[in-house]
């Protein structure tokens, strides 16, 4: 199994992810901040879009640990990746910065979008390098 690590480099509220291909599926761990941890886990599966059955969408289930708020981020990332990669994706997410205000949270979310783009670029190389795993 091959794994890669990607990291945003925005200078504030950067996120890091480890991406591992397991068979045809992907396991993604996202962390950041002063106390990285596992705060939420999302599992997403691809499915035909409800609006256009010719397109691939996804659906996800999420488990959020008590007192954590990473569930929305984990779910969004898992759904985007499952639809884009047309495979099952598990995402764990856990990041913490003290005293975040609304603007800071918006920056974390923006960094998560950048991280997803980095993951999609890297998964292309994982897919081509790990056929048959």
- Identify the pLDDT of residue 2: 74
Q: In DSSP terms, which residues pair with 48 in a beta bridge?
A: 56
- Identify the pLDDT of residue 132: 40
Q: For all residues of the chain together, what is the average pLDDT? A: 92
Residues 6+ apart with CB under 8 A from 59: 44, 45, 47, 79
Q: In DSSP terms, which residues pair with 46 in a beta bridge?
A: 58
Q: In DSSP terms, which residues pair with 43 in a beta bridge?
A: 61, 90
Taking 60 as the threshold, does the pLDDT of residue 123 lie above it? yes
Query: Global pTM?
Result: 0.91
- Identify the pLDDT of residue 129: 52
**pLDDT-derived band at 28, boundaries 50, 70, 90:** very high
Q: Distance (Å, rounded) from C-alpha 105 to C-alpha 8?
A: 15
Q: In DSSP terms, which residues pair with 31 in a beta bridge?
A: 16, 94
What is the residue extent of each domain of the chain? 6-127
E strands present in 8-88: 15-22, 25-33, 40-48, 56-64
CATH topology for 6-127 is: Ribosomal Protein S5; domain 2 (3.30.230)
Taking 60 as the threshold, does the pLDDT of residue 130 lie above it? no
Taking 50 as the threshold, does the pLDDT of residue 133 lie above it? no
Which region, left, alpha or beta, applies to residue 98 given φ > 0 means left and ψ of -120 to 50 means alpha? beta
Q: Distance (Å, rounded) from C-alpha 72 to C-alpha 78?
A: 10
Q: Distance (Å, rounded) from C-alpha 18 to C-alpha 64?
A: 20
Query: Average pLDDT in the 50-74 region?
Result: 95
């Amino acid at each position: 199994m091959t794994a890669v690590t990607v990291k945003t480099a925005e200078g504030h509220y950067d996120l890091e992810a480890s991406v591992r291909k397991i068979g045809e599926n992907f396991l993604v761990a996202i962390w950041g901040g002063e106390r990285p941890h596992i705060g939420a886990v999302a599992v997403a599966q691809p499915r035909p879009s409800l609006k256009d059955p010719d397109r691939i969408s996804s659906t996800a289930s999420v488990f959020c640990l008590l007192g954590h708020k990473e569930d929305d981020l984990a779910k969004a990332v898992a759904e985007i990746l499952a639809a884009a990669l047309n495979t099952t994706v598990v995402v764990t997410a856990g990041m913490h910065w003290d005293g975040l205000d609304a603007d800071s949270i918006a920056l974390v979310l923006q960094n998560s979008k950048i991280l997803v783009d980095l993951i999609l670029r890297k998964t292309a190389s994982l897919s081509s390098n790990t056929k048959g795993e």
